[in-house]
Structure 1
């Protein structure tokens, strides 16, 4: 069979001719740089193919870097979230400590007379009986607490001790319906009695004649009568004065000076003839 490939010189002759031409082209290109422009065109022609060949690998590299960056961002975000939670908890704790420190400073700096003995107590429990307003504090007979002892906060009179245990005491608040405080109007020294209404934010003043000089906004302070509460401590401020001639007495209401609904630290007072310093359990332990 006669084909196009069997015509002409033999295969050996073709190989020798191709080899000679290749060597000749190499020598010419090396000496005269004849094919530099041809190489530029060939490289330009092949470049898109090279880019296409490298494209899958580049896509994989970009995807890998994107996934790594996203994972790092998620890890960093989770770490920052944990740190933020920890810092928030510490900030809240520091804020509570700051507020308690401010309350203690205010309480110890309250206008207690110089000759009065005093001790800071802390609220332990609140009576859940809706018809009685009582609290429990963390001081008792070991600290010299006695029944009938006046109790204050940094704003005014809170109540008096009604039951005393070894290390705890029960305090009756001035808002209780069974409690009453002899008071006087700071503006004109009119004397009256402020009684509890059963509501933490209200006191009532009973049996006040219509002609009594009392006005809304008047400050009530303890009068010292009854020998329970020392004279001159804030009790409340008049909020309502209703003079209804159909009633035998005026209707007088007041708001307690003490913050009875947010008690935390309290101040116990002793009379002037009390011992030089109340006995403290911790001090007794240290001395022993």
Structure 2
């Protein structure tokens, strides 16, 4: 390694410089511990160079703002995608819940079909509700089965719990059902507890039926189960219809007012069963031609 010539050497040597700096450091340490003049000097220097620090940090702040703005754009886009994915997943979840509920109802209807076909000779046809009335005073629904599917007027309609109504209008590919709660609809029933026979009629309300023309001292109690009696051949016997809700007895009246609530979901179904009519009812509906005797 080449050393500088003696002519170009200036100032003290390295050891002297080291000694001076060590001595200066010791003096500064002693002064800071003993006299405490330097803290005020440091504060003064900090006040003077603060604006310069702010100016020096401006590029960093600008870079941070730009980076945050870019990140916010990515977050907004990601948030939109996540919301869209959430809505799609929510829709699929709702469809899954609807399918599960429909599957459970179909299983219950299948069990009802098996019970009915085992206990009686009645056959059942599965139908789906197409339309429900918007008018709260119109207690009728439309099914997707009609004359083309061998459906006939007067057939009973049930769900997995009990009687829903009766087919009163027939079309080629659809049919209209008058619900059990309609004011003009009545069903022959009997009390399961004591086999008391009567007729239950609709009141125009979805949750209320009425047993009319029963004497005040009739043997009927709240909670009694009303089932079809089978009289008339339209409804097979033994199908649940309603549960007695309350009984109002007024000594001044000759008849008691018996209010019951339907067992079937007359306003909550999507699929129902259409029961076949008894053979005696079919014979009454079919007009037999008259044969006139031949003249000799």
Q: TM-score range by the shorter chain?
A: 0.7 to 0.9
Comparing 235-244 with 53-62, which one deviates more in the overlay? 53-62
Structure 2 distance, partners of 1:37, 1:108, is 104
Partner of 1:97: 99
Pair 1:205-2:207 in alignment: no
Cα separation, partners in 2 of 1:138 and 1:36, compared to 1, 3 Å: farther
Q: What is the aligned partner in structure 2 of residue 177 from structure 1?
A: 183
User: Which of 228-237 and 265-274 deviates more?
Assistant: 265-274
2-side partners of 1:224 and 1:55: how far apart? 94
- Structure 1 residue corresponding to 2:232, chosen from 226, 230, 235: 226
Selected match of 2:59 from 57, 60, 65:
57
Uncovered stretches (5+) of structure 2, i.e. residues with no partner:
25-44, 281-296
C-alpha separation between the residues in 2 aligned to 1:25 and 1:143? 119
Equivalent in the alignment of 1:78: 80
Alignment deviations for residues 3-56 of structure 1 (CA, whole Å, 9 cap, x no partner): xxxxxxxxxxxxxxxxx9995359x98xx58768999x9xxx9xx89x947533
Task: Provide the rounded CA distance (Å) in 2 between the counterparts of 1:147 and 1:34.
Answer: 123
Counting only pairs closer than 5 Å after superposition, residues 54-203 of structure 1 correspond to structure 2 as: 54-110=56-112, 111-114=115-118, 115-128=121-134, 131-203=137-209
Query: Judging changes above 3 Å, is the alpha-carbon distance between structure 1 residues 97 and 21 closer, same or farther for their aligned structure 2 residues?
Result: farther
Change (3 A) 1:120 1:23: farther
User: What root-mean-square deviation, in Å, do the aligned CA atoms of Structure 1 and Structure 2 show?
Assistant: 3.2
1-structure distance, mates of 2:103, 2:7: 97
Task: Show structure 1 runs of 4+ deviating over 6 A.
Answer: 33-39
TM-score (norm 2): 0.73
Q: Which stretch has the larger CA shift, 187-196 or 93-102? A: 93-102
Query: How many pairs does the alignment contain?
Result: 247
Question: Offset of 1:76 from its aligned partner?
Answer: 2.2
